[in-house]
Amino acid sequence: MRVPLSAVVLLAVCLWAIAGDGVPVDSVVAAVRTSIARKHKDADTAAAIDKLKLAQHLEDRVIEILESEGAGPQTLGALQRLRDASRLLPAPPDPPGGMKPPPPPSSGEDQQVWQAAAGKARDYTRSLPDFVCSETIYRWTDPTRSENWQHSPTVVADLTFFDRKEHYQVKTVDGKPSDLPLPEVEGAISAGEFGTMLATIFEPASATDHRWDHWTILRTRPASVYFYRIATSHHPHEVWYRIGPGKALKAVAGLHGYIYIDPQTGSVTRISAAAEDIPADFPVHESNTVLDYDFADVGGRLYLLPLRAEVRIDSRDMLSLNAVEFHGYRKFGADATVSYGK
């Protein structure tokens, strides 16, 4: 008889609740791995994990490795909530099974990887062909600011990269045809994933402070993870808040986060970015982005391109969450026709 994962996890909760210490990280890892092996529904796994209270801090690296092993998006979301709730707890005495990291690189080795990534980043947009892809933006809002998410209209757009610039053409909003310019679509919208964030981090004028942080596995590939910070004085990030049609407020903010680099190729595979030093009186309080890159075929050649992004914005009015997917990459040639609004 097949025992549902929720029963397994709840049994663990009861046992550790008796001890009064909460659930250890390795028990959570074992439960998620069991779920993956038995092909349990992602939503069921996430619901079971949401019932847990940890006794130890859950690190990003553990979540990333579980992602590489096949954990679904809802499970990852539940694990991230556990991570946030456990941030002040002590670390486990030993890493979970199969997750012991290799020794850190020498200072010379970690700088070689950083410089290799910097060289690729400076040439990134120049190396890309002209192409078209589809962008789907799944959106949620929470006016109660209590993580009680409600679906907001999904936006589908054509994104054209031509002459090293991004152009957006909205196709549908909530399944209905639309020709609104992307910035005029109601709700939270992001842009600039194709090289803007990457170029900013490695731009010499940004004076980016960085240090090696940890090893991880991301989508089955080793990654060397660096913490970075760019001071507000270098104007690395702009936060916008629309106050009406064609009207918006702007604030300049600093930026910090983590950048994931494939040490064998120097390719950036993930960037997390959080705005810092947003003015206290600005309507947006927090702005966080996670951007994943992967290889996609364009005209018979593989290029490192955005795969997906998650953008979370905390404003005085509500919480907003966007999950952006890029797909259908194809070469933009002389026979392609794309029109743009104003």
pLDDT tens figures, 302-322: 998 988 999 999 998 889 999
Question: Do both 159 and 259 map to the same domain?
Answer: yes
Angle, alpha carbons 213-219-223 (nearest 5°): 25
Mean of pLDDT values over 22-37: 92
Question: Do both 49 and 170 map to the same domain?
Answer: no
Whether 168 maps to a domain, the answer reads yes
Question: Do both 46 and 159 map to the same domain?
Answer: no
Burial of 291 (0-12, 13-18, 19+ CB in 10 A): buried
- The residues near 5 (Cβ < 8 Å, ≥ 6 apart) are 31, 34, 35, 38, 40, 44, 45, 48
Are 114 and 226 within 8 A, CB to CB? yes
- What would you report as the CA-atom Rg of the chain, rounded to the nearest whole angstrom? 21
Mean of pLDDT values over 12-31: 70
C-alpha to C-alpha distance for 145 and 142, rounded to whole angstroms? 5
Report pLDDT digits (tens) over 111-141: 999 999 999 888 887 888 889 999 999 999 9
Whether 283 maps to a domain, the answer reads yes
Question: Do both 75 and 222 map to the same domain?
Answer: no
Residue where one domain finishes, among candidates 85, 104, 131: 85
C-alpha to C-alpha distance for 60 and 270, rounded to whole angstroms? 13
Mean of pLDDT values over 286-305: 91
Q: Total structural domains in the chain?
A: 2
Whether 342 maps to a domain, the answer reads no
Domain range for 247 is 120-331
pLDDT of 189 > 90? The answer is no
Residue 126: name the closest of 20, 198, 18, 42 by CA: 198
Question: Do both 327 and 247 map to the same domain?
Answer: yes
pLDDT of 340 > 70? The answer is no
The pLDDT, as a whole number, for residue 18 is 38
Question: Do both 72 and 125 map to the same domain?
Answer: no
Question: Do both 67 and 126 map to the same domain?
Answer: no
Residue 202's pLDDT band (boundaries 50, 70, 90)? very high
Mean of pLDDT values over 170-199: 80
Residue 186's pLDDT band (boundaries 50, 70, 90)? confident
As a whole number, the mean pLDDT across the chain is 86
Instruction: Read off the tokens for 193.
Output: 């994933």
Residue where one domain finishes, among candidates 60, 85, 110: 85
Mean of pLDDT values over 273-287: 92
